[in-house]
Amino acid sequence: MPKLPTDEDRFRKLVWHGKLPIQISLAKEDRAALLGRASPSSPPVYYVMAHRCSYLSLITDDVKAWLEALERAAPDRPSSIKPTQVWYAFNGAPLKWHYPIGLLYDLHSIRHPPGTVSAKPICTTKLPWTITVHLTNFPADRLLRNPSRDTTHHYFMAQYKEAEFMRAGSTKRVMNLPREDQDRLWAGLTTAEFETFWAVNHGAVNADDKDELPRHVAIRLYSRTDSAVVQVPLPLAELGSRTTVGEAIAYALRPEQFATGHPPKFRPEDESDQDAPYMVVLHGIVVSSTTPLLWLTRNLCYPDNFLHVVLL
């Protein structure tokens, strides 16, 4: 008999198959240089249904092909487009190519209603998400250089190994993967093939015995207010299997308060608490602060096996 999908498989598939419609327009300052005298008054646009778990640098080849088609249609051909110079922006803010697309959208597009601090956050950006592609003036002071496909591959594997080190205390399981399995991981991510990716990743996520907790939880916290990123090793074995995501974030932000038994509060979805500083957003979902951290790390991680959490 075929193996029935587990609840974990169902949630992982929902996360994996999440998509985001994106409208990409060519930056005004680059139109004349690329299109010459044929430059239109309105920006040419390109549409893509992007996977939330993917990266902007992985759609650059398609964007480059679109731009080159525009270039060929121009009467005076400029120099060729270099993918390593391509970068994206939303409302003038450069978008970090090494962040998953879903995380970028959550960071830049989810807000609280004007004049409120306790209501549910709302998405204030209409779909498709409208971003701009730039070909010049790469903001090297704000973005990592060389946003190529190969660089993204190396960065992803580095993050994947880091998450494994936090979980297991070493990268032995990843380093011992046959080369073909490491290639399958990357191929599964770039082609959005769930079965290909999870056939390999399942061992990393489910390797921990049900009675033995991972040493630490791989989690990053992103603050919209000051663009801060917080990464603190969360010792789940010490905190306990019943630790909630609210308690874990309180530990990460205020470990000294957590030790006293009075951690910072978090807003439940159905209550207003002016003293509670944050709401938790993961994969575009407002997550209850009482959700078990262990369940989240087994079901709602991004492909790099980190929980990328936005705090609002």
Mean pLDDT, all residues of the chain: 83
Given a cut of 90, whether residue 179 has pLDDT beyond it is: yes
Higher pLDDT, 237 or 184: 184
Given a cut of 70, whether residue 274 has pLDDT beyond it is: no
- φ/ψ region of 247 (left if φ > 0, alpha if ψ in -120 to 50, else beta) reads alpha
β-partners of residue 282 are 285
3-state helix, strand, coil in the chain (%, to 5): 40, 20, 40
- For the chain, domains (ranges, CATH) are 19-139 (3.10.20.620), 150-206 (1.10.246.190), 219-311 (3.10.20.90)
d(CA 249, CA 261): 14
d(CA 40, CA 51): 30
β-partners of residue 131 are 24
d(CA 306, CA 205): 11
Give the residue-averaged pLDDT of 193-211.
78
Q: Is the dihedral of CA 243, 251, 309, 118 positive or negative?
A: positive
For residues 197 and 303, is the Cβ–Cβ distance under 8 A? yes
For residues 39 and 32, is the Cβ–Cβ distance under 8 A? yes
d(CA 125, CA 109): 5
Nearest by Cα to 148 from 29, 55, 28: 55
Q: Structure pTM?
A: 0.87
Pairing between strand 229-230 and 219-223? antiparallel
Quick: pLDDT tens for 211-265.
578 889 999 999 876 677 888 888 887 888 889 998 898 888 875 544 444 545 5
Per-residue model confidence (pLDDT) at position 61: 92
d(CA 265, CA 55): 33
Per-residue model confidence (pLDDT) at position 2: 39
Pairing between strand 129-134 and 87-90? antiparallel
> How sure is the predictor about 3, in pLDDT bands with cuts at 50, 70 and 90?
very low
- φ/ψ region of 281 (left if φ > 0, alpha if ψ in -120 to 50, else beta) reads beta
Give the residue-averaged pLDDT of 205-211.
58
* Of 81-85, 290-294, 300-304, minimum mean pLDDT range: 81-85
Give the residue-averaged pLDDT of 283-289.
90
Quick: pLDDT tens for 37-68.
655 666 789 999 999 999 999 999 999 999 88
